[in-house]
Amino acid sequence: MNNYIYKCTNCNRECNAEGIEGNFVYLCPSCGKAEKNKPLEGVFIIEYDYEELRKKIKREDFLKLPAGKFWLYPWLFPLDEKKLNFNVLKRLALSEDQYLEYDYNKSKIFLMDETRNPTFSYKDRASGLVALKALELGITEIAAASTGNAGSSLAGISARLGLTSHIFVPKNIPDAKRIQIQSFGANIYIVDGDYDNAFDLCLEISEKKKWYNRNTAYNPLTIEGKKSAAFDIFISTQGKMPDNIFIPVGDGVIISGIYKGLTELLELGWIEKLPKLIAVQAKGSDAIVRYVKSNSFIYESASTIADSISAGAPRNLYMAAKAVKQTNGIAVAVSDNEILNAQKDIANYFGILSEPSSASVFAAYKNLIKEEKIKAGDKNLLLITGNGLKDISALEIWNDKPLAKDYNEWTRLLLK
Amino acid sequence: MNNYIYKCTNCNRECNAEGIEGNFVYLCPSCGKAEKNKPLEGVFIIEYDYEELRKKIKREDFLKLPAGKFWLYPWLFPLDEKKLNFNVLKRLALSEDQYLEYDYNKSKIFLMDETRNPTFSYKDRASGLVALKALELGITEIAAASTGNAGSSLAGISARLGLTSHIFVPKNIPDAKRIQIQSFGANIYIVDGDYDNAFDLCLEISEKKKWYNRNTAYNPLTIEGKKSAAFDIFISTQGKMPDNIFIPVGDGVIISGIYKGLTELLELGWIEKLPKLIAVQAKGSDAIVRYVKSNSFIYESASTIADSISAGAPRNLYMAAKAVKQTNGIAVAVSDNEILNAQKDIANYFGILSEPSSASVFAAYKNLIKEEKIKAGDKNLLLITGNGLKDISALEIWNDKPLAKDYNEWTRLLLK
């Protein structure tokens, strides 16, 4: 068993893993609160014995590992190595070649392509770790509230591992995402209400049913699973880390996870400084941008075409804001129109179909270059977190059907 | 430069690579014919100096290569190794973990998951090789006729490599697939007619415009690119090849490619016998099943929910039928209803969203097991060639939207 503790990010209370994991405890017992339309309070972070880890593994050996398989270094995760079934883990593997380099406007630009993950989004990093923990604890049923991708991810990963999943969704879920969840054989519960209602209902039901809960930020393993991208970047670049990492931000869990992973790399002495984290939000859903500026949270209902980062009350707001500040990063919002243009650019220049949420990072990149807040000559990494095929309604906006023409008309037009 | 020749599969005429590739020749100059509603005649196959290759590389060294990157053994492809740009090749890499093992009905079942390829279908294997040949020849524009996946693949691969693509599609192309093609920045030409019209128009225009042509089967590199799965299976199984390989068959190019790759493994002395190839078609598009039985081709217009294997006149019929016969394989057709059930099974049991065309293999697997034509104890590999997200209309059929219920109703129902 690995040596790790749960530590509250608010009151610093430390808890042993046994007391937390076996008892379906997720937030800090002292100060934890999950209230409607507010960020979560008392979110746990997991801490390891880094001194021990430094002795256990050397940087040069770690760099020989393949990217995309976090279970190959289980001692950096809350996992019992002896209980891992390596036969089934292959089904959760990400591509080893997701770190891509392109030329763009006379500079290099780097993309982290998460659109080819097992269920085609970054969420698989969290779902994978949560599902492995469920297997370790002998729990066969997992629940989550979701606006789409997290639910589809948990449903697909559960199918791959033979687990049963329960997904609570708001009634305005896009049809395409609902269909993915159902296709994977998940039990779906459509709540006549919004994401907050689905979130609360999922907490209540899963507590009473003793289902393991994967609600984002609420289960600390969602943050912990999402940190794995930091290690994949470290491996893919062979330690030559980016200067800036652009991250789409809704609930703030991905940026928190990446920040956590990066601080661990620093703690282990494997990198010398933290890359700047650029938190990218949509203008219609910018609570974290506002919080970074003003240090205060005011709930505003969210509205943006980028549904995967639409969150009026980001669950992991405090940790996300800390990630930006501690890395001297930037929090920035882009318009829906800029997002659609960026979605087109990413498909045209890089051959990747991205979700609007993911496209936001390219929109922000272009703006910040223009405003000279970052340099094109920097090593800029853009995180493409979700696949555009998951819901093609945004692609439809900028791809009208051209008129059909007959054989003769085409030959006349094309050969004139 | 590799040592290889083009050989006609019909009249056995042999041609030097220089005369073919530089001159935009695709079919055999002696007997080649591309006629409406008929299989192509005079399709070329590429042959290498296998004696020389046997000396060049040993089986055990080949097995150390990663799966998913055919350019790492360019001497088994019509490529000039010196002209390969390894910086951009990573953008074409398939997953190294696409060969998956599952338990199903007390047996092992093996899946080859091509749904996570760069543009989410098997077609990327062909598009990748064709695009590399275009780069080698200094051609920057490529054309293809397509009902969807091949066009989307060529468009996406072209975007990744900085090439311009021209895609000719019939007017009944599903909207979702049209949108993918357009999103990648391809020039799209919607022909007021069927696939045959688009095919012919593409041949005429690309010949006059000197665009490199990727029409399936017509360009021998489509077959050659598609052979790479045989090598990936060989690497992934470390030489312990499946007994039976189930392949969805429309135009017959994938099965021809895999057969070609397998015969090369045999020729190199790296495997001892050929796996049986199971050609799976839809009942509404079964020209190859009929040809294998009767040895005669009769055109019937095709109609099936599995649009990616819908082909009244399979372009590569003769080679596909040969692949079945020479491996003591089976050609079999399944109903649309069986296909939809299989699509559900694949998502539920294996966590993979497949296209109807790909789901056909699982339907055939279940039928052939029941009829005792194959054994569950055999090593059965099912090729999942296309991603279900490319067109969710089939998934929609078996995933009605459940009714929304409010918070109280759900708690009453779930906690009773």
Q: Do B183 and A96 touch (CB under 8 A)?
A: no
How near does any CA of chain B get to the CA of A182, in Å? Answer: 7
Query: For residue B165, what is the nearest residue in chain A, using CA coordinates?
Result: A348
Which segments within A305-394 are labelled E, that is strand?
A: 330-334, 380-384
Instruction: Determine contact, residues A387/A363, Cβ cutoff 8 Å.
Output: no
| Facing residue for B205 by CB, picked from A91, A159, A414 | A414
Which structure tokens are listed for B82?
A: 């010196």
User: Is residue B390 predicted with pLDDT exceeding 80?
Assistant: yes
Contacts of A191 in chain B (CB under 8 A): 404-407, 410
Per-residue model confidence as pLDDT tens digits over B207-216: 999 999 999 9
Per-residue model confidence as pLDDT tens digits over A349-400: 999 999 999 999 999 999 999 999 999 899 999 999 999 999 999 999 999 9
> How large is the angle between the packed helices A195-209 and B407-415, nearest 10 degrees?
20
Residues present in chain A in total = 416
How far apart, in Å, are the Cα atoms of B138 and each of B74, B83, B128, B163, B248?
A: 18, 10, 15, 10, 34
User: Is residue A211 predicted with pLDDT exceeding 80?
Assistant: yes
How far apart, in Å, are the Cα atoms of A205 and each of A136, A166, A167, A369, B222?
A: 22, 10, 11, 47, 53
Query: For residue A163, what is the nearest residue in chain B, using CA coordinates?
Result: B349
Average pLDDT in the B184-193 region?
Answer: 97
Q: Do A392 and B176 touch (CB under 8 A)?
A: yes
Helix, strand or coil, per DSSP, at residue B16 = strand
At A90, the pLDDT band (50, 70, 90 cuts) reads: very high
Contacts of A388 in chain B (CB under 8 A): 183
Report yes or no on B169 lying in a domain: no
How near does any CA of chain A get to the CA of B47, in Å? Answer: 31
Contacts of A235 in chain B (CB under 8 A): none
Q: Do A192 and B404 touch (CB under 8 A)?
A: yes
Per-residue model confidence as pLDDT tens digits over B251-263: 999 999 999 999 9
CA A295 to centroid of chain Cα atoms: 24
Contacts of A411 in chain B (CB under 8 A): 201, 204-205
What integer pLDDT is reported at residue A22 of this predicted model? Answer: 83
Helix, strand or coil, per DSSP, at residue A363 = helix
User: Is residue B1 predicted with pLDDT exceeding 70?
Assistant: no
Average pLDDT in the B28-43 region?
Answer: 95
Query: How many separate domains does chain A show?
Result: 1
Looking up residue B348, the CATH number of its domain turns out to be 3.40.50.1100
Residues with Cβ < 8 Å from B267, sequence gap 6 or more? B50
CA distance B171 to B198: 9
Report yes or no on A330 lying in a domain: yes
Q: Do A404 and B350 touch (CB under 8 A)?
A: no
CA distance A283 to A56: 45
Average pLDDT in the B217-231 region?
Answer: 97
CB pairs under 8 A between A and B: 188
Report yes or no on A42 lying in a domain: no
| Facing residue for B192 by CB, picked from A160, A390, A405 | A405
CA distance A108 to B179: 28
Q: Do B351 and A205 touch (CB under 8 A)?
A: no
Residue whose token pair is 């398989």: A69
Q: How many CB atoms lie within 10 A of CB A66?
A: 15
How large a percentage of chain A has pLDDT more than 70?
A: 100
pTM over 0.95: yes
Contacts of B390 in chain A (CB under 8 A): 389
Residue from B85, B97, B173 whose CB has the most chain A CBs within 10 Å, to mutate = B97
| B66 bridge partner residues | none
E strand or H helix that includes residue B284: none
User: Is residue A1 predicted with pLDDT exceeding 70?
Assistant: no
Report yes or no on B289 lying in a domain: yes
Instruction: Determine contact, residues B27/B41, Cβ cutoff 8 Å.
Output: yes
- Check the CA dihedral A29-A31-A35-A37 and report its sign: negative
What integer pLDDT is reported at residue B22 of this predicted model? Answer: 82
| Facing residue for A120 by CB, picked from B348, B389, B415 | B389
Report yes or no on A56 lying in a domain: no
Strands B380-384 and B244-248: parallel
Q: Do A404 and B100 touch (CB under 8 A)?
A: no
ipTM of model: 0.96
Instruction: Determine contact, residues A406/B194, Cβ cutoff 8 Å.
Output: no
N-terminal to C-terminal alpha carbon distance within chain A: 73
Per-residue model confidence as pLDDT tens digits over A96-125: 999 999 999 888 999 999 999 999 999 999
Q: Mapped to the 3 state alphabet, what secondary structure does chain A carry?
A: CCCEEEEECCCCCEEEHHHHHCCCCCCCCCCCECCCCCCCECCEEEEECHHHHHHHCCHHHHCCCCCCCHHHCHHHCCCCHHHCCHHHHHHHCCCCCCEEEEEECCEEEEEEECCCCCCCECCHHHHHHHHHHHHHHCCCEEEEECCCHHHHHHHHHHHHHCCEEEEEEECCCCHHHHHHHHHCCCEEEEECCCHHHHHHHHHHHHHHHCCEECCCCCCHHHHHHHCHHHHHHHHHCCCCCCCEEEEECCCCHHHHHHHHHHHHHHHCCCCCCCCEEEEEEECCECHHHHHHHHCCCCCCCCCCCCHHHCCCCCCCHHHHHHHHHHCCCEEEEECHHHHHHHHHHHHHHHCCCECHHHHHHHHHHHHHHHCCCCCCCCCEEEEECEEHHHCCHHHHHCCCCCCCECHHHHHHHHHC
Report yes or no on B6 lying in a domain: no
Domain boundaries, position A274: 99-117+223-397
Residue from A191, A399, A410 whose CB has the most chain B CBs within 10 Å, to mutate = A410
Report yes or no on B88 lying in a domain: no
Helix, strand or coil, per DSSP, at residue B380 = strand
Contacts of B349 in chain A (CB under 8 A): 159
Q: Report the greatest alpha carbon distance in chain A.
A: 77
Query: For residue B199, what is the nearest residue in chain A, using CA coordinates?
Result: A407
Report yes or no on A339 lying in a domain: yes
